């Protein structure tokens, strides 16, 4: 009678008799998870759509994202619906068969499909930029606070506590009102409200790791603090940081959309999912033409869902027990 | 215990102090360099330089910054938030009814999300990987991913607007003009509790969905963790029923953690309030804030920010103190 070994652990730990690197193990586990892989492919598709989708759709339909087609309004000057053709579209299109608006047009006669695709660009650009900025600030402060301890640690702790005490969105809106709209401003504001999550993770991980013998060994061998921080301490926290980064990106996409929804985000006429939603809702136009609110919202939902699913998958893959929680 | 309470209260006061400094810097100092000065705003565009200077003197804007801050803080302590630029009345008279409306919205929603999430989460923790658990987790991750500013108009469309057109979910089965739920409007609790609840049902559900999702996950993890502990095994061994173990043993141990999370999330919910209130036209803090932002009505914006921060800090403080009451270990720790 053979004793059944847990197959999963066995082949992960051994590969040609050598221990497998943690990173390889994690990616291998992640690849086995169909949900994560599905979410990942949706995200890849989304990035491609953000880069090429907008210009491609604009080229094929002949509708630039911010062009307003006066004829793309029904006779009662309400927006046209899905799969409607428009003739004599402002002289921009000379197509005798009319120009097709696949998802219809908004109340200003702009092509909804083209704008949703361009909106993906803004969402990913702003959220990605803000997340990168937040990670840079958070990791640097976290490493310094955890490694140096003492008053630096105290100062950073007070900073994170104060930042967390504020109602996020509210103050963000306040700052946005004061410093004015603009893509870069939105990136900075969002980063200002997200840096403390990575900071706390890195700080606590660094504080506990620096006690370990291998750090003392490195120091004995004459490694400078900078080398210890970047080569020895930082690689220890990449796992939890990666999980956090996915959830921060998801939240930042929502954050950008929220700010744009409230009219203090990416300035008009640039297409952003948040501002498209708010245009449709505040004018009550979505009660006439539901896709105006439905489509940008679904785009947001799919993006958020993919990031959240991938984040969950990553966390499970990083869990040394390999158990789903 | 008393020392712990004192320390926590002191911490809350310090946090509030930081909040007032940040709000003052942002809306009274930085704002002055980016837009028209408050004196100009109040005196009007056509006012002469002498009139503007007079208003500035009356507002104390000619004094050094630290004095201006102390005056601002002194006014705040007396409940004076200044005068609205747009509505011809003091900010405090705007804020008080708004706070009542927002509190109705947030606490009602919290009740809903807790009562939905507790059974689903506990079941998931108890029967991990069962069909019910998988469905619950799926619902949770979808709920987490729905933007509240999208859910709000969708709820309003499908449950309030469509029925007035005689449709429900696209099916024309209702008589035209049916009012299933009111689309907009708010009735104060004091006026009519039934109308109050009726007008708030859709907003409550809208706000609760995202939090219910997060709480299903919290409760599931916490329950699973507690069920793996020795004391639950002992309880099972002595013959306690599953429901008794869940309520008396697991519930008792999960409650303190849940309280702390709830405090933090009441504060987070104040962000969602912005969107829910504007869509459903509830004259709460979020609605007031958005309206003030559109008009650059700085005194009102400042007031809304400070009231929300006070609510957030208070919620966290109360919850931390409750945590001490619910968790005897903390009391012992504090006594040492």
| Measured distance CA(A152)–CA(A150) in Å, rounded | 6
Cβ-defined contact of A258 to B289 (cutoff 8 Å): no
Supply the pLDDT for residue A29: 82
Interface test with B, best of A170, A262, A288 (most B CBs within 10 A): A170
**Please, what is the average pLDDT of chain B?**
85
Cis amide prior to A47 (ω within 30 degrees):
no
Q: Give the percent of chain B with pLDDT over 90.
A: 24
pLDDT value at residue B220: 92
Q: Is B293 on the interface with A (CB under 8 A)?
A: yes
Radius of gyration of chain A (CA): 25
B233 or A159: whose pLDDT is higher? Answer: B233
DSSP β-bridge partners for residue A73:
A79
- Residues 190-229 of chain B with CB under 8 A from chain A are 221, 224
B216 near B139, Cβ under 8 Å?
A: yes
Residue listed under structure tokens 């297409």: A271
| pLDDT, greater one: B261 or A78 | B261
% pLDDT > 70, chain B: 96
- Highest-pLDDT range among A169-178, A291-300, B243-252, B312-321: A291-300
Give CA angle at A316 (A315, A320), nearest 5°.
100
Of B26, B149, B267, Cβ closest to residue A175:
B26
CB atoms within 10 A of CB B322: 16
Six token digits for residue B208: 């609760």
Chain A residues touching B287 at Cβ < 8 A: none
Per-residue tokens: A101: 């608006």
3-state per-residue secondary structure call for chain B: CHHHHHHHHHHHHHHHHHHHHHHHHHHHHHHHHHCCCHHHHHHCCCCCHHHHHHHHHHHCCCCCHHHHHHHHHHHHHCCCCCECCCCCCEHHHHHHHHHHHHHHHHHHHHHHHHHHHHHHHHHHHHCCCCHHHHHHHHHHHHHHHCCHHHHHHHHHHHHHHHHHCCCECCECCCCCCCCCCCCCCCCCCCCCHHHHHHHHHHHHHHHHHHHHHHHHHHHHHHHHHHHCCHHHHHHHHCCCCHHHHHHHHHHHHHHHHHHHHHHHHHHHHHHHHHHHHHHHCCCCHHHHHHHHHHCCCHHHHHHHHHHHHHHHHHHHHHHHHHHHHHCHHHHHHHHC
Residue A4 is predicted with a pLDDT of 47
CB B236 within 8 A of CB B213: no
Residue B294, chain A, CB below 8 Å: the answer is yes
Q: Does the model's ipTM exceed the 0.90 cut? A: no
Mean pLDDT by 10 residues, chain A (325 residues): 46 53 77 87 92 84 74 66 64 60 76 88 92 92 86 82 72 81 89 87 84 84 83 79 86 90 84 88 81 90 93 82 48
Q: What is the model's pLDDT at position A15?
A: 47
Q: Give the model's pLDDT for residue B308.
A: 86
Total-model pTM: 0.85
Q: What is the reported pLDDT for B333?
A: 63
- Give the model's pLDDT for residue B334: 58
Residue A69: predicted pLDDT: 73
DSSP assignment, residue A90?
Answer: T
Tokens of B92: 């405090």
Nearest 5°: CA angle at A307, between A301 and A310? 135
Among B153, B298, B320, pick the best mutation site for testing chain A contact (most A Cβ within 10 A).
Answer: B153
Q: Tell whether B43 is within 8 A of chain A (Cβ).
A: no
Task: Give the range among A155-164, B12-21, B111-120 with minimum mean pLDDT.
Answer: A155-164
Alpha-carbon distance of B245 to B228, in angstroms, equals 12
Mean per-residue pLDDT, B193-214? 92
pLDDT in tens, B24-76: 888 877 777 766 667 777 777 777 778 888 877 777 777 788 888 888 888 88
Give the CB-side neighbour count of residue A51, counting CA atoms within 13 A: 5
Taking residues B122-127, report their average pLDDT: 90
Range of lowest pLDDT (A86-100, B106-120, B206-220, B234-248): A86-100
């Amino acid at each position: 009678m053979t004793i059944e070994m847990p197959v999963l652990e066995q082949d992960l730990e051994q590969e040609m008799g050598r221990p497998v690197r943690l990173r390889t193990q994690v990616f291998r586990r992640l690849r086995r998870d169909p949900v994560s892989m599905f979410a990942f492919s949706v995200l890849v598709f989304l990035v491609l759509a953000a880069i090429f989708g907008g210009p491609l759709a604009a080229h094929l339909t002949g509708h630039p994202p911010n062009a307003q087609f006066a004829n793309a309004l029904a006779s009662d000057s309400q927006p046209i619906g899905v799969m409607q053709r428009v003739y004599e579209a402002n002289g921009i299109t000379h197509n005798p068969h009319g120009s097709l608006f696949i998802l219809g047009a908004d109340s200003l006669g702009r092509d909804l499909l083209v704008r949703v695709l361009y909106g993906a660009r803004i969402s990913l650009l702003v959220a990605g930029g803000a997340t990168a900025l937040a990670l840079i600030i958070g990791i640097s402060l976290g490493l310094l606070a955890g490694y140096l301890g003492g008053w630096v640690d105290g100062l950073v702790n007070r900073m994170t506590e104060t930042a967390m005490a504020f109602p996020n969105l509210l103050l963000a809106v306040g700052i946005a009102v004061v410093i004015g709209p603009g893509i870069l401003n939105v990136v900075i504001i969002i980063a200002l409200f997200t840096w403390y999550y990575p900071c706390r993770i890195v700080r606590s991980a660094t504080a506990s790791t620096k006690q370990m013998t291998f750090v003392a060994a490195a120091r004995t061998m004459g490694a400078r603090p900078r080398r210890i921080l970047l080569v020895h301490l930082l690689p220890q926290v990449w796992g939890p940081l990666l999980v956090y980064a996915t959830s921060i990106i998801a939240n930042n996409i929502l954050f950008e959309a929220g700010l744009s929804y409230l009219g203090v985000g990416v300035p008009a006429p640039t297409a952003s999912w948040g501002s498209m939603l708010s245009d449709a809702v505040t004018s009550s136009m979505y009660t006439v033409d539901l896709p105006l609110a439905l489509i940008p919202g679904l785009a947001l939902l799919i993006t958020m869902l993919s990031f959240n699913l991938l984040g969950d998958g990553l966390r499970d893959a990083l869990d040394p027990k390999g158990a789903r929680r | 215990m008393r020392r712990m309470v004192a320390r926590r209260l002191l911490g809350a006061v310090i946090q509030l102090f930081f909040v007032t400094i940040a709000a003052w810097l942002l809306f009274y100092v930085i704002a002055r360099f980016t837009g028209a000065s408050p004196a100009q705003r109040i005196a009007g565009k056509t006012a002469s330089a002498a009139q503007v200077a007079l208003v500035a003197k009356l507002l104390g804007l000619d004094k050094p910054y630290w004095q201006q801050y102390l005056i601002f803080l002194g006014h705040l302590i007396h409940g004076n938030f200044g005068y609205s630029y747009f509505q011809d009345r003091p900010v405090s008279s705007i804020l008080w009814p708004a706070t009542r409306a927002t509190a109705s919205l947030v606490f009602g929603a919290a009740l809903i999300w807790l009562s939905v999430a507790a059974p689903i989460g506990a079941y998931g923790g108890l029967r991990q990987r069962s069909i019910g658990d998988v469905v619950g987790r799926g619902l949770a991750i979808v709920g987490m991913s729905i933007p509240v500013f999208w859910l709000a108009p969708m709820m309003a469309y499908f449950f309030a607007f469509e029925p007035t057109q005689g449709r429900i979910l696209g099916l024309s089965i209702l008589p035209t003009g049916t009012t299933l739920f009111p689309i907009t409007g708010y009735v104060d609790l004091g006026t009519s509790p039934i109308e109050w609840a009726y007008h708030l049902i859709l907003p409550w559900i809208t706000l609760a969905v995202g939090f219910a999702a997060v709480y299903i996950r919290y409760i599931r993890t916490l329950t699973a963790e507690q069920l793996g502990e020795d004391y639950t095994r002992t309880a099972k061994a002595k013959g306690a029923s599953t429901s008794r173990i869940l309520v008396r043993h697991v519930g008792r141990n999960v409650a303190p953690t849940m309280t702390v999370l709830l405090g933090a999330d009441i504060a987070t919910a104040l962000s969602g309030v912005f969107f829910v209130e504007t869509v459903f036209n509830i004259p709460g803090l979020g609605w007031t804030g958005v309206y003030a932002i559109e008009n650059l009505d700085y005194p009102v914006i400042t007031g809304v920010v400070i009231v929300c921060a006070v609510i957030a800090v208070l919620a966290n403080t109360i919850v931390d103190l409750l945590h001490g009451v619910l968790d005897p270990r903390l009391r012992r720790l504090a006594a040492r």
